[in-house]
Amino acid sequence: MSRRKAVFLIVFEVLLAGWLCCLPRDLFKGTSYATVVTDRNGELLGARIADDQQWRFPPCDTVPYRCATALIQFEDRHFRWHPGVDIPALGRAVVSNLRAGHVVSGGSTLTMQVIRLSRNRERTLRQKAVEAVLATRLEFRCSKDEILAMYASHAPFGGNVVGLEAAAWRYFGRPAGELSWAESATLAVLPNAPASIHPGKGREQLLAKRNRLLERLHKRGYIDTSTLESALSEPLPDAPYPLPNLARHLVERQPHGEETRVDIDLPLQRQVEDATTRWSDELAMNGIADLSAVILDIRSGETIAYVGNASPLRARSGSEVDIAAAPRSTGSILKPFLYCAALQDGTILPRTLLQDTPVNLNGFTPQNYDLQFHGAVPAAEALARSLNVPAVHLLRAYGAPRFLEILREAGLSTLTKDASHYGLSLILGGGEGTLEDITRAYAGMVRSYDGLSTDSPFRDRLALWYTFEALKEVNRPDEIDWKLIRSVRKAAWKTGTSYGSRDAWAVGVTPDYAVGVWCGNADGHGVAGMTGAATAGPVLFDLLNLLPPSADWFEEPLDGGVWLDVCRESGMLRSQDCPSYDRILLPERAQESAVCPYHPDGTFRLPPAMEWYYKAYHPEYQVRPVARAEKRMEFLYPESGSILTLPRQLDGSPGGAVFQVVHRDPDATLYWHLDDTYLGETRILHQMKLSPSPGHHTVTVVDPDGTSLSVSFTVK
């Protein structure tokens, strides 16, 4: 090789290396983009402006056909063939610029413009030369479609609108892919003179420019004559459209500066927002400022509608709070989970009588909504009527720590404290949950029933089926004014009201959807008269009616359980003395459930405390003479082994507690003793107010037959 050849080769290699390395890997590194959120089908739900206050949507991959054609035909007709630089066009530009004495034509290709947009340098001849070299390098790296997409994503379209997609939404209220030829042509001419779009300024030139492009598209065979004629008659866009603003709280939660597709179904979301806005306006008149709603698709488990807080139009502090994601007191809304869990492990059968008698657990004295005790209530009915006292008895039997574990497994992420913190009040709203988590947990029950989820704590299909059956009961006279609800779609649903009427919940499931509604005030103040049933219930049914009806209801599983005889009166496993019973299919572990103790000699007989309240609601209940060996009386208060904290009186002296006993014989006289001291006697209503000193004590009552009953307790 000659020396000249070698030098030439070295120079060539250096130049080649320089050329190969001259272009940064990421052309638009450091560019800030708008946050763009689309629905499950890619429809725009909402967007948030980029950090530099530009409506610059994240880069697109492709440019829709009409826009691509219009852009290429306007800017760079040989784009598809040139290597980044269009030499003939550049030549023509030089000639016409020389003739005019100043710059009238750039002669830049789209590729060169991409380079210019990415570098943002001044427009000199030297820079133009650099751009030309870099453009050839870019052509070497990217396909024509990729280069066109880069251009369409970063070109200025007037004002603070950057990129084709943002421009399509701002000027036409539609995605670029849905634009007509006239609209596509309008956008194609804008980057050349982005200031001309401003309404009332330069509109005539803009129209002329657009029409010239349309004529050109016709002449070059892209559109036929009739398309041209109708395109020419289309008006220019007027004032910019506001961008869609749906599911705004969900949009707010998405990654900043990126385009994200979420599971929302836009048409449904719009309907749900309309409905919740209407309801919110109505509730606002009753002092209820906030309303949120969530809808999940059972099959996919996806959130298909999400209203963090309704009524975006009512400017008001607090409306930005996303209540659907805020932890709130759960009221009674968790009771179905307890029913299902207790059925699943055999703690109860579907209609096991639950105790509904006064409870006092270290000062925790739950009451039913109607402030009555009913003695004994079948579990399914206690759930449907949302009785609090039986729920507390049931939670005690099931175990609060186990139940807390079940709730966490079901996805209630805000129950972070340990079981002793919540105690038995966990089932009455002592814990907090978010509408999103709770609705998801309800959906989880249906998904588990359908065999769609493997990580649900509710695994027994029969237990789930019995739960849905109990919740579809619509006969809840004390809960809801059914006249308010026009048509009721079949659903398994539950309501909840938190302490102090601060939260109103209603959650329902069908075989296809789970819907959750929360009403209240974000700032936490209660509203007299607000209840889950009366306030959130009607909203729930309105939303259920927006959904396509389910073909059928949950089918009763025909296997996977055990057939057992169940006492008709107690709802428990049949003893040999139970007079009437049914053979029903039950969850596997029902075999381990308790046997009916209420038919000791073939007649129905409840323990004294349950009987005391039960007989008032059940005139058919026969109070019989007391048998010798039978339990005749029972303490209603206190429970054996309890620790009492007696409140101090206003004057500082120790306060007292009312002790109470029930006796089966309504005429019995009882004689009371505190430790060894005789206190007195009671008749009919066996109550005695006592103020024992701190320490350990025993209260004993004796009836005329000489039967005695004692309770031991400790006073703190």
Does 473 qualify as catalytic in the annotation?
no
| Chain residues 553-592 in contact with Zn ion, contact rule CB under 5 A | 567, 570, 578
Of these residues, 108, 311, 332, 425, which one is catalytic? Answer: 332
108, two tokens: 């830049």
Task: Note the helical H segments in 120-202.
Answer: 125-141, 144-154, 164-172, 181-189
The CA distance from 197 to 218, in Å, is 24
Compare residues 307 and 354 and give the one whose CB is closer to Zn ion.
354
Compare residues 352 and 386 and give the one whose CB is closer to Zn ion.
352
Q: Cβ of residue 352: shortest distance to Zn ion, in angstroms? A: 11
Of these residues, 75, 183, 436, 634, which one is catalytic? Answer: 75
Q: Cβ of residue 346: shortest distance to Zn ion, in angstroms? A: 17
Residues 375-414 as x/- pattern, contact with Zn ion by CB under 5 A? ----------------------------------------
Largest CA distance in the chain: 133
Scanning the structure block, which residue is given the tokens 């103020």?
A: 691
- Is 68 a binding residue for Zn ion by CB under 5 A? The answer is no
Please select the residue that binds Zn ion; options are 248, 599, 664, 686, rule is CB under 5 A.
Answer: 599
Compare residues 496 and 571 and give the one whose CB is closer to Zn ion.
571
- Is 606 a binding residue for Zn ion by CB under 5 A? The answer is no
Piece of 149-157, 216-224, 451-459, 599-607 that binds Zn ion (CB under 5 A): 599-607
Q: Cβ of residue 402: shortest distance to Zn ion, in angstroms? A: 27
| Rounded (5°) CA angle 120-121-123 | 115
Compare residues 191 and 350 and give the one whose CB is closer to Zn ion.
350
- 3-class SS at 404? helix
Compare residues 467 and 570 and give the one whose CB is closer to Zn ion.
570
Q: Cβ of residue 533: shortest distance to Zn ion, in angstroms? A: 33
Residue 638 burial (CB count, 10 A): 23
Q: Cβ of residue 380: shortest distance to Zn ion, in angstroms? A: 17
Q: Cβ of residue 650: shortest distance to Zn ion, in angstroms? A: 50
Q: Say if residue 511 is preceded by a cis peptide, omega within 30 of 0.
A: no
Question: What are the φ and ψ backbone dihedral angles of 287, each rounded to 5 degrees?
Answer: 80, 15
- Is 596 a binding residue for Zn ion by CB under 5 A? The answer is yes
The CA distance from 443 to 427, in Å, is 19
In DSSP notation, 531-565 reads -IIIIIHHHHHHHHTTSPPPSSPPPPP-SSEEEEE
For residue 425, CA distances in Å to 4, 72, 528 come to: 94, 69, 22
The CA distance from 527 to 536, in Å, is 13
Compare residues 231 and 596 and give the one whose CB is closer to Zn ion.
596
Q: Cβ of residue 570: shortest distance to Zn ion, in angstroms? A: 4
Scanning the structure block, which residue is given the tokens 């007027």?
A: 238
Count residues binding Zn ion (CB under 5 A). Answer: 5
For residue 210, CA distances in Å to 182, 230, 233 come to: 7, 13, 11
Residue 535 burial (CB count, 10 A): 26
Does 75 qualify as catalytic in the annotation?
yes
Compare residues 55 and 581 and give the one whose CB is closer to Zn ion.
581
In contact, 458 and 295? CB cutoff 8 Å:
no
- The number of residues in the chain equals 716
| Chain residues 501-520 in contact with Zn ion, contact rule CB under 5 A | none
- Report, as residue numbers or ranges, the catalytic residues: 75, 332
Residues that bind Zn ion (CB under 5 A): 567, 570, 578, 596, 599
